[in-house]
Amino acid sequence: MIANDAEKFKKVISHAKEYGYIFQSSEIYDGLSAVYDYGPYGALLKNNIKEYWWKAMVQMHENIVGLDSAILMHPTTWKASGHVDAFSDPLIDNKDSKKRYRADVLIEEFLAKQDEKIDKEVEKAKKRFENFDETMFRTTNGRVLEIAAKREAVHTRFVKALNDNNLDELKQIIIDCEIVDPISGTRNWTDVRQFNLMFSTSFGAASDSSDVVYLRPETAQGIFVNFLNVQKTTRQKIPFGIAQIGKAFRNEIVARQFIFRMREFEQMEMQFFVRPGEEMNYYNYWKKTRMLWHRALGTDASMLQFHDHDKVAHYANAAVDIEFKFPFGFKELEGIHSRTNFDLSRHTEFSGKKLQYFDPELNENYIPYVVETSIGCDRMFLAMMCNAYDEEGVGEETRVVLRLPAILAPIKVAVLPLIKKDGLPEKAMEIFNTLKFNHQCYYEEKDSIGKRYRRMDAIGTPYCITVDHQTLEDNTVTIRERDSMQQERIAIADVLQIVNAKVDINTVLKQLAD
Ligand code: ATP
């Protein structure tokens, strides 16, 4: 059984490897830090996540179109976007452990600890008093107020330091809060420095500095530089969106927590172009719509929350994260940003090409404003794995089951002959060969049926079909459902319809349209 969140996370990581979801990149050479490969089931799950996102965006909106732009872009792109000058994180080293940290993350973790302290006080008091009034306690208890006041003071300093880009003050906060390195346990810190997160490489045969190109740190810029191409060729009118899924690269300072923070990852981004002044309406619309997308998968409301940014990026006038409750706490899963007309204006300035839109209703030209939704495909994958992983006692045994939403499950249905003889494998293969046109299926004849069921539970397969001797007589099979483990005898002719009903992506998409 799972003792706590930390143990759960460890289990999810080893499960992902053991069952062919995720492998460390170049593992035979001891791996490459924060780079991962997706195994056979991982690749399927990831594709299903992308399909759900793409359909929800592109197929379900008459005014959103897709794009697949290149990873390598003209280097001026990144000067214009501000990434060359400003895409950096404040780093700090501990001189004893020689470990590197993000200064802002150390302070954020300190703030989160203060919240935990308050929660603990509340929990203690709850046990002590009958008719406990939590709001009253939080607003009047001396100890709670003391911790909250300290937290608030640090938070205010932190936000100001971030906004002023004041690296000395960030260090001072770390010193004043007596934050220690979790490894060495010491407070022997270096100064805070900015570190640019973009990977660079050289372009073409000659290698002088003028040939430096970057691996894109976000997919969005590919959308902005193609704004006119897409708008003209698709004849879209504002408001309209451009969506794309693709790789992004960031030389992250601290790459921990498995696929949560990777150096090579995949983003699903949509830029929505609107009239200046209308951006906040669409910002609120996309906040709501994106939360609905997550909830339609059946994720419990308590696992998701909005979090407004303390510091908005250099290009934004409003920003909110959708956070998911990972085993290591609520963390960003998706960002929704009102990016103003910053990017299109800057590309206009640097390229000399007018990235404008002629609005026939207003009879005027303007640079559109942009609302962006940006979600990491890998983070979504991790959220779904953590949400799905479960262990339950079945008789004497423990069953590990991945309760993935059926539309995301890598394998939809397994076809299993009860035994490996008497014509059962041939009959099972026949069924497999009819179902495979509609669904990703699985066939296995090795091991006992019980073991094969457990394996399918661990992979998250919603249905197992078992072919036995009776099948040969009356063309019926048993169908076993993953979560309830209920088995039912049904006609082979009905299998497809039952599986279809459960794994149909349209039923989920319809929830978004209602
Ligand atoms: P963080 O604060 O966690 O570094 P961010 O605010 O820099 O993230 P954005 O630039 O808003 O992230 O990127 C949009 C989305 O891309 C994030 O919500 C996240 O899901 C994903 N993402 C960003 N960086 C990484 C990474 N290093 N590994 C995996 N996914 C990432």
Give CA–CA dist 339/369, Å, rounded. 7
Q: What is the whole-number distance in angstroms between the Cα of residue 332 and the centre of ligand 1? A: 7
Longest dimension (CA), the chain: 80
Residue range 192-209, pLDDT digits in tens: 999 999 999 988 876 555
The pLDDT of residue 271 is 98
Check pLDDT > 80 for residue 314: no
What would the mean pLDDT of 401-409 be, rounded to a whole number? Answer: 97
User: What is the position in ligand 1's atom list of the atom closest to the CA of 380?
Assistant: 20
Name the amino acid, one letter, at 496.
L
Give CA–CA dist 391/4, Å, rounded. 12
**Is 462 strand, coil or helix?**
coil
Give CA–CA dist 35/40, Å, rounded. 17
The residue whose CA has the least distance to atom 13 of ligand 1 is 374
Q: What is the whole-number distance in angstroms between the Cα of residue 353 and the centre of ligand 1? A: 30
Token readout for 176 is 């004043």
Cβ proximity of 255 and 262 under 8 Å = yes
List all residues 6 or more positions away from 422 whose beta carbon is below 8 Å from its beta carbon. 469, 472
Cβ proximity of 221 and 84 under 8 Å = no
The residue whose CA has the least distance to atom 11 of ligand 1 is 335
What would the mean pLDDT of 410-418 be, rounded to a whole number? Answer: 97
Q: Alpha helix locations (H) across 94-217?
A: 103-128, 134-140, 142-164, 167-176
Give CA–CA dist 359/361, Å, rounded. 6
The pLDDT of residue 207 is 56
The reply to whether omega before 239 is within 30° of 0 (cis) is yes
Residue 9 CA from chain centroid, whole number: 16
Predicted model pTM: 0.88
Residue range 209-251, pLDDT digits in tens: 567 899 999 999 999 999 999 999 999 999 999 999 999 999 9
Name the amino acid, one letter, at 38.
Y
Q: Alpha helix locations (H) across 305-423?
A: 342-351, 377-388
Percentage of the residues of the chain whose pLDDT score is greater than 90: 85
The residue whose CA has the least distance to atom 24 of ligand 1 is 261
Cβ proximity of 283 and 306 under 8 Å = no
Give CA–CA dist 264/35, Å, rounded. 6
Query: Which of 158-167, 236-245, 382-391, 448-457 shows the lowest mean pLDDT across its residues?
Result: 158-167
Question: Is the dihedral angle over the CA atoms 506, 507, 508, 510 positive or is it negative?
Answer: positive
The residue whose CA has the least distance to atom 23 of ligand 1 is 376
User: What is the position in ligand 1's atom list of the atom closest to the CA of 374?
Assistant: 14
